[in-house]
Chains A and B, each alone.
Chain A
Amino acid sequence: MALSIVREITEKTPPPRALYLRFPFGHALGEPGNRNQQLAVLLLAFRLLFEADRPGTIRDGRLRWRRENYSPPDWEAFRRLGPGL
């Protein structure tokens, strides 16, 4: 499972599954200190891990870089993730 911050590069060297984020270099998880944003990235990444059905899947995370209030993590949403989603 990979994160991607430049879709055009990821498309050329496709990992099995990649979550694309429109974030700057050096910020694949988001802004420094923004715990909720970082956990939102991880939830989307793990969801893709179990939902992707073909090699080379790149999904746009559609998360905003700034000016977004991220909710506290939904742990139950993480706990539900597994094969056969």
Chain B
Amino acid sequence: MPLSRLKNRMLARIFTLFPFLAVRWGRKLAPHPGEVPWVEPRTPLREAVLALVTTGGVHLRSQPPFDMSDPRGDPSFREFPAGTPRELLTITHDYYDHREAERDLNLVLPVERVRELVAAGALGALHPLAYALMGHIEPPHLETLQERTAPEIARRLAAAQVDYALLIPA
């Protein structure tokens, strides 16, 4: 593994151990200038279709991994069946410590918990497709994320008549 990737993984562990570093970093970020979107919820949870969207870098082992060679991140997304057996999924993301998420993928993609909700009659259904991004994206890829990737995921969810999406950060 290249030295730069090892360095990023080390930094990820430091940020996990010392969360105030992320807080300081967040305070320095410029506010997003756009309007915050808003749609009123119309469907009771017990009848709703829920989609899961994670920024945890999850993908099928057979899909191309997120690009870790670009220090500005990878603004692409991966779409895969939410019911994929665990052994066919992996995480490619050097910017958070995902050793525990590897042990329990529900920490970043709570498919098992959502299935329990469906079985208990608390949620209508889990959307059969899950979406994943990697949550470390800097300019100029930020623009791609905002103007192409995120709208494309939203279009697909709307076309599939998904009621709600839960976005899980990493």
Contact = CB atoms under 8 A, between A and B. Distances in A.
Interface of A: 1-9, 11-16, 24-33, 35, 38-39, 42, 45-46, 49-50, 54-56, 73, 75, 78-79, 81-83
A55 B101 contact: no
Given A15-B36, A25-B15, A75 B44 contact: no
Interface residues of B, number: 52
**Which secondary structure characterizes the binding site on chain A?**
loop
A32 B32 contact: no
A26 B101 contact: yes
A43 to B, nearest CB: 9
B11 to A, nearest CB: 11
Given A16-B39, A38-B110, A49-B164, A28 B169 contact: yes
B107 interface: yes
B26 A29 contact: no
B153 interface: no
Contact of B40 (A42, A73, A83): A83
Nearest to B30: A12
A35 B117 CA distance: 12
B113 A28 contact: no
B107 A32 contact: yes
